[in-house]
Amino acid sequence: MPEDPLHRLYENIGDDGITQIVAAFYKQVPGDDILGPMYPSDEMEAAEERLRDFLIYRFGGSQKYVQQRGHPRLRMRHMPFAIDVNARHRWIELMTKALEQVEMSVKDRALMLAFFEHLATFMINRES
């Protein structure tokens, strides 16, 4: 079975790179008019930890996310949040800014952004 190309991301940027990306993303969220209201301030740290652990797992690192939370079931877990195309676009916008703040190859950044774009589209659960 061929290796998942996303696993190369973990090999190349590791825990530190993923932690930096997620921190840079969540630094933008509280003041955002679309995404901010989806995150209660007392849940921000836990949300950051969940995304970090999920990405480390998905990109080929530690299995901590699955060990603690089981199968990702991302659409089900996000169903309580009204994610429309505008929220999807804003999530990508903030994540793109976060990716730009972390040193990585152009190829890795493109691979990661393509993954995020696919994932964000998959998460849409409401009409605009």
Q: Say which CATH superfamily domain 7-122 falls into.
A: Globins (1.10.490.10)
Nearest to 21, CA basis, from 86, 84, 108, 81: 108
pLDDT value of position 3: 78
Sign of the alpha-carbon dihedral angle for 52, 58, 64, 66: positive
pLDDT at 2: 64
Q: Where are the domains of the chain?
A: 7-122
Residues whose CB falls within 8 Å of the CB of residue 73, separated by 6 or more in sequence, listed in order: none
Provide the residue type at 29 as one letter: V
- What is the CB neighbour count within 10 angstroms for residue 35? 20
- Residues 111-123: what's their mean pLDDT? 96
What would the pLDDT profile of 67-94 be if each residue is shown by its tens digit?
888 887 877 787 888 899 999 999 999 9
pLDDT, residue 99, reads 97
- Read off the pLDDT of residues 21-39 as tens digits, 9 standing for 90 and up: 999 999 999 999 999 999 8
What percent of the chain lies above the pLDDT cut of 90?
76
